[in-house]
A and B are shown apart, each in its own frame.
Chain A
Amino acid sequence: QQQVKQSPQSLIVQKGGISIINCAYENTAFDYFPWYQQFPGKGPALLIAIRPDVSEKKEGRFTISFNKSAKQFSLHIMDSQPGDSATYFCAASKNTGNQFYFGTGTSLTVIP
């Protein structure tokens, strides 16, 4: 059973556009929601993360929007650049954060 559902599977965006990736979860015990960026041949790298006590967190061009009642969270990449082309994974964890449940990933391509 997939604990975190991620969509879309792939996304193509023009340079300068906004990329939006969505995730949904069922377990209300989750209390930490990170996003990871992975380039081919590399391990996932932490991009940004949010706790459920806030509805939005912004770091540079990257923003997480969190809707606790809907059990959904999303990643917004503003002014998308070709260098942002990568696979993005959302994840969720509970309690002490030791068990991460990852989404299935979104392959983002930013066209120059």
Chain B
Amino acid sequence: EAGVVQSPRYKIIEKKQPVAFWCNPISGHNTLYWYLQNLGQGPELLIRYENEEAVDDSQLPKDRFSAERLKGVDSTLKIQPAELGDSAVYLCASSSGVPGEYEQYFGPGTRLTVT
């Protein structure tokens, strides 16, 4: 079974430029998460999707960040414009969404460097 796939793995951009990250969750997983991981820190939730609906985006900086999950499968996270402080690893995770099945499975992440 394929795991969570993310691309690109690395991205270097200049500040004020836009950037987008893509995630393909584990097949059949209805719940998808985007996390931000700063160096030396644990992941912090940005947004959670149940199928195509964003059910928790309270931590997403909506002035510059946006996300979508069309058709309830793949998801894209966008930053526009990027700032120096956005340099971090962006992790995507998925879970089955079945009540009682709490396990979240993470992708390898996209390391963003903003110069």
Q: What residues of chain A have their CB less than 8 Å away from a CB belonging to chain B?
A: 6, 32, 34, 36, 41-46, 49, 89, 91, 93, 96-100, 102-105
Contacts and interface: CB of A to CB of B under 8 A. Distances in A.
Contact of B41 (A45, A96, A100, A105): A105
Contact of A105 (B31, B40, B48): B40
Contacts of B43: 44, 89, 100, 102
Contact of A43 (B95, B99, B107): B107
Interface residues of B, number: 24
Interface string B54-71: 011000000000000000
B56 A89 contact: no
Nearest to A97: B102
Q: Which of B31, B43, B45, B99 has the most A CB atoms < 10 Å from its CB?
A: B43
A42 B108 contact: yes
B42 interface: yes
B45 A105 contact: no
A41 B39 CA distance: 11
B40 to A, nearest CB: 7
Contacts of B55: 98
B42 A105 contact: yes
B40 A100 contact: no
Closest 9 CB pairs of A and B: A102-B42, A97-B102, A43-B106, A32-B102, A44-B106, A43-B108, A89-B42, A43-B109, A43-B107
A46 B104 contact: yes
A104 to B, nearest CB: 6
Interface string B17-44: 0000000000000010000000011111
Contacts of A91: 42
A97 B56 CA distance: 13
B58 to A, nearest CB: 10
A46 B103 CA distance: 8
B106 A100 contact: no
B4 interface: yes
B91 interface: yes
A6 B91 CA distance: 21
Contacts of A43: 4, 91, 93, 106-109
